[in-house]
Amino acid sequence: MSKVLGVLGGMGPAATLDFLAKLQAATPVQREQDHLRVLVDINPKVPDRNVGDEDPAPVLAAMAEGLRESGAEVLAIACNTAHAYADAVRASGLPLVDMLEAAGLAAKAQGATTVGVLGTGMALGLYRDRFSHMGLEVVMLDDHEQVEFMALLYRIKHGDLGATSRETMAALAHRLVGKGAQSVVAGCTEVPLVLSSADLSVPFLDATEELARRCVAVCLAQAQD
């Protein structure tokens, strides 16, 4: 039997749906019943991870406990920045599939040593720390470019997936390539909603997709033994 996956989502909702679509696409099946059982808590009421004084950790911990009580055996967080509160989620006692680690392993598999990351300020700190331990150098946007990225991020969260958003995100990604990035990581789950490999001259790593693939591998490992 494959393990039941519990997903902490809603940060934002569209990004969670994107993750679920990629999870389904990454699952090898011959029939409908071969897909994973997935329990999802799409909770847009989680406090903003980027602004405000309210701590998201208690809400995320409660979500993890709720998923465990509902039958989840493995957890995933469909948000890069929320991994800053991973310890609160792991307090549920369930293993957590780490999105940042999945992205780093994918970058190393492609042979990259210098990786550009598009993400929130907190996510960038997480990536810089995690990737440095994996032997990867992180390239980031300049301060004024980061302000532009954050403004774009909130427009995407509000549903703006149009041409202007796509062009702006591609331009920001190209700036990372200009700084020496050998690949670009979508270190925010809203990024792949408006950016794809076709927009770049270097490999594009979608952390959402890498998390989906890793979740499938972890949940099916026991079933394939």
Is residue 79 flagged as an active site residue? yes
Is residue 219 flagged as an active site residue? no
- Among residues 79, 112, 124, 212, the one annotated as catalytic is 79
CA 164 to each of CA 170, 195, 205: distance values in angstroms, whole numbers, following the listed order: 10, 12, 22
In eight-state DSSP terms, residue 132 is: H
d(CA 116, CA 104): 11
In eight-state DSSP terms, residue 225 is: -
Strands of 38-42's sheet in order across: 38-42, 5-9, 74-77, 96-97
Helix (H, G, I), strand (E, B) or coil at 84: helix
Helix (H, G, I), strand (E, B) or coil at 135: coil
Contact residues for 129 (Cβ-Cβ < 8 A; gap 6+): none
Token digits of residue 92: 């549920």
CA 156, 5, 78 angle in degrees (round to 5)?
20
- Among residues 188, 194, 207, 216, the one annotated as catalytic is 188
d(CA 36, CA 72): 11
d(CA 129, CA 54): 24
Beta-bridged to residue 39, according to DSSP, are: 6
Question: Catalytic amino acids?
Answer: 79, 188
